[in-house]
Amino acid sequence: GTWSVISGTGDFLNNNDANTTVNKLSMNENIFLWTVSNGICSDAYDTVSFIVRDMQIQTLITPNMDGNNDYFILRGLESMGRTELVVFDRRGVQVFKNEDYDNLWDGVDFNGNPLRGDTYFYVLKPGNGKSVNGFIVIRR
């Protein structure tokens, strides 16, 4: 059989495996078609639908490496494709940027120095969606 995308987006790990993994889903509904052909009988089809809800974004990190809220984690980030994270301080000065964010920002600046406890503002620029703006509090 073979997987194909009817609507939404998806990268199949192996589009010929019925039990494959699919990554990079778009927000809302993603519909995939499984087609089985043997060259003798008529093709057989089935569809699968996945719904991806909005990303969940935390508003506080406490980067003291105690295992709780140490990183700025964006639940659902993997469905957004390559995502850029830009962080600004209260004065609007850019203090951090990662062009392929991977949920590992722990409140440091460009040079790896810890930012002071304060409120910071961010812009997320996902590869397959519109930009998201918000704030994150660093508490040390």
Q: How confident is the model at residue 126 (pLDDT cuts 50, 70, 90)?
A: confident
Position 92 pLDDT exceeds 90: yes
Q: What is the pLDDT of residue 71?
A: 96
Q: What is the pLDDT of residue 67?
A: 92
Q: What is the pLDDT of residue 56?
A: 78
Position 131 pLDDT exceeds 80: yes
Instruction: Quote the CA–CA distance of 36 and 21 in Å, as a whole number.
Output: 18
Residues 40-76 pLDDT 10s: 999 999 999 988 767 778 899 999 999 999 999 988 7
pTM for the predicted model, two decimal places: 0.65
Position 137 pLDDT exceeds 80: yes
Position 78 pLDDT exceeds 80: no
Range 33-59 burial, b when 16+ CB lie within 10 A, else e: ebeeeeeeeeeeeeeeeeebeebebee
Instruction: Quote the CA–CA distance of 118 and 86 in Å, as a whole number.
Output: 16
**Domain boundaries of the chain, sorted by first residue:** 2-52, 56-138
Which CATH number does the domain 56-138 belong to among 2.30.30, 2.60.40, 2.20.28, 3.30.420?
2.60.40
